[in-house]
Structure 1
């Protein structure tokens, strides 16, 4: 396969050198409106990253952080060295840059969006429907200019070359050059640059780090963050086959066959059922495919029901798949790698192995392990990524995980091939209850926690909360020191789901008794053994885009009623001051901090 790359690259170079001067593109111009913008103009010569045309764009990332934005079309190169045309979005924030030097530029390498044209980031950003909006908005709020490539084939009428690593790396590197050529955009080609990606985007970012020095040597790249990265493609494919993430394997087959048609003869390998599935997948976005192809095996779509092992035994197929593996190169800049230990789509072990390969080449690597599964980790890691980038721009020394001697992480993901379950294990529960009559707040202790399993397939929520006994002050006639208990009654139950357009919905309830154990002054407290006569219902409801997890927490607010209390001779007093409706509460659930490996 390497010989094919060289021959094709040589052919493209020869063709470009033979083009008459008049064929070269003129200075970038304003592109057409509507979908005509994505119609690629006639053949042109030029350099990687050259801006073909641009236009002003409306971008909705769910927050008021955008000053101005543009769609761009620019020149790039695919994995085989052939010239291609890529589109994307360039966003300048309204936040001032307060750090050192020029405003930095961040190229955001998106995760899987789906194969249909309408799923492309530039179109979803315009409509406010991109599930990665929250991460992009957080980067803009930092004062970074943000560039989002659509990657090759998503908007220009071709099939996407999904997961073709080198093509994606070129696209994410070339958009820096294209952005700097937009007139009066204020984006400098010399500004410090970073790349951030997760899942497919983690693959993109890692590939960019390995090829930047040879492909875009003039770029002032200072750091890369790559999370949830598929670094070993055969291993990742085996992990996805027949699992909850089977749609990603189907997409990979389509994308790699588009980039390597001679190596992966899809028409010959796919059965009638396979061709039908491919047609469906090409017309879907990520969450649609996720649910439609969940737990499917690749053998269901191949001639002769060939399984993954048989397909990878075909030399040309194996060549194309293993060509996406990372680790042959060395990142040119410090890398922040991160992964969820419960990742059910991309196993953590193969990403940890990439860290070891990078460390063996004396790269600077920081590796953080998050406690959650794939989708949750994508968003809960965002504040940590951006803090790490701030440190790089400030010139702070890197915490190099290569010198760590702790044991490599092992996956604790839910088994594949079953339901899609998102687990929150011992997440921190911060809670405030506002007592209506007393007009006072009761704050639960810091070591309170919540554990929950959300079965997306079954649409169910099951969990529990733990709240240690704690002391607080309540002004009950006089300012008293009060010892309280919040005792759960049964499990947290309810429904939960993730819609086909990426909307997260939680509708559950936690029931608990409220106990006033003792009250007094300092260490001198009298026992009261006062308890609600029936459990207090705390509804736990949330609806919003999955990307809202990028805030690093989930928040539940509501109003409830305290039943009458049974307190012996103090019953009348406590009922008049504590019981009744209108008790407001706020539960904030945050993940445990990552561990560094």
Structure 2
């Protein structure tokens, strides 16, 4: 039911608001992000507020694309009503078209600060140095040149619940619902939808894929690409603590404290005041800022008992079991990509996620890359990813649900042609030329 229907029936939430774009402020200070009175009575995915926005590469180079932001109703892990924002895009000059597919791209937000949310980081004039979505946009925009509509949700929700299970999936799927109902895109419930994310975005996409069948069965999700999707967050925590990437598990702990009161109680009991202050300091950091500031950070040094003993407590074991993806089988094909020499996400952890999916009955094509590492695999895998999604949008069956370990996903003529096309799209973005349809692939 739309929010307008509630209003016609009487006593419901107000009609969806349409805002003119104003100064670029962080989500914490931007009234656009504030839930309107009565939003709880709206349905999941109902659009509560909209505005056109200007997109800027690194906040500086204006992008000639059509872009809007939608505030919509969603739910948290406990199914309590919440709101979030998605940024929806069309190619320059494109008209609304129900035959156009929708790509939902989940960024690697990997932070709890609103400055890292794509709805802020992608806007012209934003000050979001060190956020991952600003780099990812240079890759994702090529989907616009294929003629697709794109939704980029703030999948952590307005509260920044980084690391939470299932909730990023609810948030992502409700963003898809919002996009499908948004008139300016011209989409409808028959629109084929693809999910894609890498690293933290791959984890969010995993939860969306797992939740889709039960939470949003009306959405025609035709496939999901999970790039380096973490596999086992608990394993990553112990492996990355006290390393150059120690900020990543630290950020997860800070995000999970917002989701699980039991975790916050444990942290308050066993982490020193200085350690709690360091955890809290990440609330204003972007991902790269945190990685630099917390390089080598060892939570053991700020714990009154060994951190392994803290994490072995029953309530902590329960949380780490809940945040491990791969417990259910999505009802559509999956493509999982992982570098065997990944310095951040262990290949064994992703192997385990794929095994759990297959054991549950999922159809998974798994490609392991021997040459890449965590940073390089995302750009190198874009041509393969877009081809795979394009085939799913066209209704073609995927290849065998097998595991392939390749020298490099880049080692093909088709990938080389894809890199040339991507370079052209990136050049247009960096010079402010229109991001228009290059050609339609069917």
TM-score range (shorter-chain normalised) is 0.7 to 0.9
Query: Structure 2 vs 1, CA of residues 65 and 335 (structure 1 numbering), >3 Å: closer, same or farther?
Result: farther
Which string of whole-angstrom CA distances, capped at 9 and with x for unpartnered residues, describes residues 137-184 of structure 1?
A: 11211211111111244xx4x4x1101131111111111111233333
Query: Structure 2 vs 1, CA of residues 174 and 135 (structure 1 numbering), >3 Å: closer, same or farther?
Result: same
Alpha-carbon distance in 2 for matches of 1:93, 1:152: 26
Aligned to 1:46: 42
State the TM-score, normalized to the length of structure 2: 0.81
Query: Structure 2 vs 1, CA of residues 280 and 263 (structure 1 numbering), >3 Å: closer, same or farther?
Result: closer
Alpha-carbon distance in 2 for matches of 1:101, 1:70: 18
**Equivalent pair of 1:65/1:141 in contact (CA under 8 Å):** no
Which one has the largest radius of gyration? 1
1:112 equivalent in alignment to 2:109: yes
Query: Structure 2 vs 1, CA of residues 361 and 113 (structure 1 numbering), >3 Å: closer, same or farther?
Result: closer
Residues 379-398 of structure 1 mapped to structure 2, 5 A cutoff: 379-398=379-398
Alpha-carbon distance in 1 for matches of 2:185, 2:393: 21
Query: Structure 2 vs 1, CA of residues 270 and 95 (structure 1 numbering), >3 Å: closer, same or farther?
Result: farther
Aligned to 2:31: 36
Which runs of no fewer than 5 residues in structure 2 stay unpaired? 1-8, 24-29, 129-133, 428-442
Aligned to 1:237: 237
Aligned to 2:152, the other structure's residue is in SS state: strand
Kindly state the Cα deviation for residue 133 of structure 1 after the two structures are TM-superposed. Answer: 1.3
Kindly state the Cα deviation for residue 96 of structure 1 after the two structures are TM-superposed. Answer: 6.0
Which protein has greater RCO, CA pairs closer than 8 Å, 6+ apart?
A: 2
**Equivalent pair of 2:149/2:185 in contact (CA under 8 Å):** no
Identify the structure with the greater helix proportion: 2
Alpha-carbon distance in 1 for matches of 2:147, 2:198: 21
Query: Structure 2 vs 1, CA of residues 190 and 396 (structure 1 numbering), >3 Å: closer, same or farther?
Result: closer
Aligned to 1:352, the other structure's residue is in SS state: helix
Aligned to 1:289: 290
Query: Structure 2 vs 1, CA of residues 292 and 550 (structure 1 numbering), >3 Å: closer, same or farther?
Result: farther
Aligned to 2:323: 324
Residues 292-441 of structure 1 mapped to structure 2, 5 A cutoff: 292-302=293-303, 304-307=304-307, 309-370=308-369, 371-402=371-402, 404=403
Aligned to 1:131, the other structure's residue is in SS state: helix
Alpha-carbon distance in 1 for matches of 2:11, 2:231: 40
| RMSD of equivalent CA atoms | 3.1
Alpha-carbon distance in 1 for matches of 2:90, 2:216: 22
Paired residues, number: 392
Aligned to 2:185, the other structure's residue is in SS state: coil
Aligned to 1:148, the other structure's residue is in SS state: strand
Aligned to 1:170: 170
Structure 2 residue corresponding to 1:145, chosen from 145, 149, 156:
149
Alpha-carbon distance in 1 for matches of 2:140, 2:36: 30
Alpha-carbon distance in 2 for matches of 1:388, 1:66: 27
**Equivalent pair of 2:110/2:200 in contact (CA under 8 Å):** no
Q: Where do 4+ consecutive residues of structure 1 move more than 6 Å?
A: 62-65
More deviation in 88-97 or 333-342?
A: 88-97
Kindly state the Cα deviation for residue 224 of structure 1 after the two structures are TM-superposed. Answer: 0.3
